[in-house]
Amino acid sequence: MLQQKMHSFKTLENLKNSYSERIRQIADERKSGKKLVGTFCLFVPDEIIFAAGADRVILCGGKNDTVSIAEQYLPRNICPLIKSSFGSIINDGCSGIKSCSHFSMVDMIVAENTCDGKKKMYELLEDYVPTYVIDLPQRPDTSEALKYFISELEKFRDAMEQLTGYKITDEQLKEEIRFSNETRRLFHRLYELRKRDPSPISGTDVLKILQKQYFLSPDKLKEYLQMLINEVENIEPGQVHKPRIMISGCPMPGGNTKVTEIIESKGGVIVAEESCTGTRSFWDLVDESKEPMIALAERYIKIPCSCMSPNNRRIDNILELAREFRVDGVIYYTLQFCHGYNIEKQKVQKALKEAGIPMLSIETDYSDSDVEQIGLRADAFMEMIS
């Protein structure tokens, strides 16, 4: 297969150095009394956190080195994302593993009732960091579910006011919604560019900013996104078609780029991700014309996570994305022991088969033990769809 070298983006080089700058910013904010909230999931509306005058970072772990710390407390047979996150938070630096400082800086964790493993992990986390849990109705298409979710978000709004001492006004909420929608629109622009054939940017590169969106401040994220879009827009159109791949499934938090790197080293290019480190994070905007709490509840309850049942919206999204991004194949990516996404694979596979789109299923963890084996399967898949 003809290979074409991907462009190297200055924005992404700069992004590499953003960690220490952000840590300094958080430390300064905390000195001046600003609260830092840690979250784990897209179902927690950032707009409410920011409207309360707090900052936030997402605490999902994507690194393998904190998994063993967690395994001293948690069963081995749960998903690596849960173990890595828990290990990062409780890591006191005595284990010989460099402590990730933002994990130890949060004033409150805002959790959500999604999968069983996370729910139970949050109960344990309470011993380390004050933890607030938003209950999430899991049959999202009923009017009762929406009503209940609105009431849960109202309670969360009160909890944030208590944490920061600021009253959240509707005006402030609307402002945050407007700001977040602008960022969502920028992501749409970036994804629009990926529709070109060949795509001017690799999926591994896009993943870098998708992962950092959960760590950077909202202002910085917007700045980086704008710079990246400018760079991508100015790339000379390439000539060599590469198999266009969509990733669908579990999130790939910071530190976890294993599968995208393997796929792209085998000649494919990832053009879309149906994932929480992908389209689920920005695809739908919040309706700015509505009463803000209702608009937030309506937007967030529709996130097609596999904890929802039924979750046909996800199947529809996958088919729509596959068409829009003209994908040649889908990599169905699940983390080990993630039952929701693992079981939902059956429905996705059936729908893709009916649509004539090939799918390769990869179930993995954060270790490198299966890199070779995934590589061989990816090779065969590329061969098939080329």
Question: Counting Cβ atoms within 10 Å, is residue 158 exposed (0-12), middle (13-18) or buried (19+)?
Answer: exposed
Closest to ligand BJ8 by CB, 247 vs 382, is 247
Q: Is 341 in the site for ligand BJ8 (CB under 6 A)?
A: yes
Q: Is 331 near ligand BJ8 (CB under 6 A)? A: no
Exactly one of 276, 293, 318, 327 binds ligand BJ8 (CB under 6 A); that residue is: 276
Contact 231, 10 (CB under 8 A): yes
Q: How many angstroms separate the CA atoms of 67 and 73, rounded? A: 10
Of positions 26, 37, 108, 115, contacts ligand BJ8 by CB under 6 A:
115
Q: Does 278 contact ligand BJ8 by CB under 6 A?
A: no
- Secondary structure element (H or E) that encloses residue 11, with its range: helix 10-16
Q: Which is nearer to ligand BJ8, 82 or 359 (CB)?
A: 82
Size of the site for ligand BJ8 (CB under 6 A): 20
First to last CA, the chain: 8
* Selected binder of ligand BJ8 within 242, 270, 340, 362 (CB under 6 A): 340
Query: Is there binding between residue 125 and ligand BJ8 (CB under 6 A)?
Result: no
Query: Which residue in the set 11, 38, 43, 283 belongs to the binding site for ligand BJ8 (CB under 6 A)?
Result: 43
Q: What is the CA radius of gyration of the chain?
A: 20
**Which residues from 293-322 bind ligand BJ8, rule CB under 6 A?**
303, 305, 307
Q: How many CB atoms lie within 10 A of CB 248?
A: 29
User: Which DSSP string corresponds to 334-348?
Assistant: EETT-HHHHHHHHHH
Using rule CB under 6 A, residue 61 touches ligand BJ8: no
DSSP characters for 47-107? HHHHHTT-EEEE-----STTHHHHTTTS-SSS-HHHHHHHHHHH--STTSSPP-GGGGT-S
Q: Where on the phi/psi map is residue 167: left (φ > 0), alpha (ψ -120 to 50), or beta?
A: beta
Task: Name the nearest CA neighbour of 379 among 268, 277, 295.
Answer: 268
DSSP β-bridge partners for residue 246: 272, 330
Min separation Cβ 289 and ligand BJ8, Å: 26
For residue 335, state whether it binds ligand BJ8 (rule: CB under 6 A).
yes
Q: DSSP class of residue 3?
A: -
Told to check if 134 binds ligand BJ8 by CB under 6 A, we report no
> Considering only residues 15, 82, 228, 262, which one is a binding residue for ligand BJ8 as defined by CB under 6 A?
82
Is the CB of residue 183 less than 8 Å from the CB of residue 222? yes
Is 87 or 251 the residue whose CB approaches ligand BJ8 more closely? 251
Binding segment for ligand BJ8 among 77-85, 127-135, 181-189, 344-352 (CB under 6 A)? 77-85
Please state the closest distance from residue 92 (CB atom) to ligand BJ8, in A.
Answer: 23
**Which one of 36-44, 225-233, 290-298, 320-328 is the stretch in contact with ligand BJ8 (CB under 6 A)?**
36-44
In the complex, the residues that contact ligand BJ8 under the rule CB under 6 A are 41-43, 79, 81-82, 114-115, 117-118, 250-251, 276, 303, 305, 307, 335, 338, 340-341
